Amino acid sequence: MGRTKIEMVGLRFGKLIVVNCNGKDRFGDTLWHCECDCENDTTVRGAELRNGHTKTCGNCQKNFYMKEADYIRIYIADTGRSFIVDAEDELCVKKHIWSVDRSGYVMSHDISLHRYLLQPSLNIVVDHINRNPTDCRRKNLRLATSQQNSYNAGVSKNNTTGYKGIYFEKSRNKYVAGIKPNGKHIFLGRFETAKEAAKAYDIAALKLFGEFAWVNGVRNNG
């Protein structure tokens, strides 16, 4: 009689998640295609997964933990990148291998660290208050709607004035300030300088968006 195949798809073994069956080796042992938390793929014999012999792909980037003040800085080997979490979260964070993606977010496979820590519902966003995605201390994380999260967005790359909510109206030689609460544009006025327009935007943003407002920082500067 042939060996009975044990269904393992979807099971986790250490840092490996079984994706699908990948045939058999020359001894008749079932091989399983697995995805590692570090995003590498590997093929492992089922027996080696079940007996705990293989728990990673073997090529994971390692994380190194260093205590700094009241938080932990985690370095990603061979990349020069790092991120920070509260000291109280060290043990749960160590359950995964983390890396920083192209957008600057801390990820382990398909899990983002900020969502892993706060465990929000699917329709809720985890916002980084200081807009630094590698700062995952809980005091820098807050729950928000998608709209609230957009209020904390910075200056657009296409903005030539350097201030959020401001554009230069060439025909009038003025700087125009505007804001969009709930997707509805509100005209805030025309100004001689970009800084004056930015002050008007900041005042409106703080009034309309409260703690989620991203301001230009010139409200009280002369």
Residue 8 identity (one-letter amino acid):
M
Does some domain include residue 175? yes
Instruction: State the total domains in the chain.
Output: 3
Q: Do residues 81 and 54 share a domain?
A: no
Q: What is the CATH number of the domain that holds 158?
A: 3.30.730.10
**Closest to 13 in 3D by CA, of 39, 50, 41, 45:** 50
pLDDT of residue 3: 59
pLDDT of residue 221: 44
Does some domain include residue 134? no
Q: Count CB-CB contacts under 10 A for residue 22.
A: 16
Q: Which residues contact 102 (CB under 8 A, 6 or more apart)?
A: none
Q: Do residues 168 and 196 share a domain?
A: yes
pLDDT at 196 over 90: yes
Does some domain include residue 2? yes
Tens of pLDDT, residues 76-123 = 887 889 999 999 999 999 988 899 998 999 998 789 999 999 999 999
User: Exposed, middle or buried by CB within 10 Å (0-12, 13-18, 19+), for 75?
Assistant: middle
| Distance, CA of 98 to chain centre | 11
Show the domain range for 196: 151-212
Q: Do residues 47 and 73 share a domain?
A: no
Does some domain include residue 37? yes
Q: Choose the final residue of a domain: 23, 40, 59.
A: 59
Q: Do residues 26 and 47 share a domain?
A: yes
Tens of pLDDT, residues 125-134 = 999 999 899 9
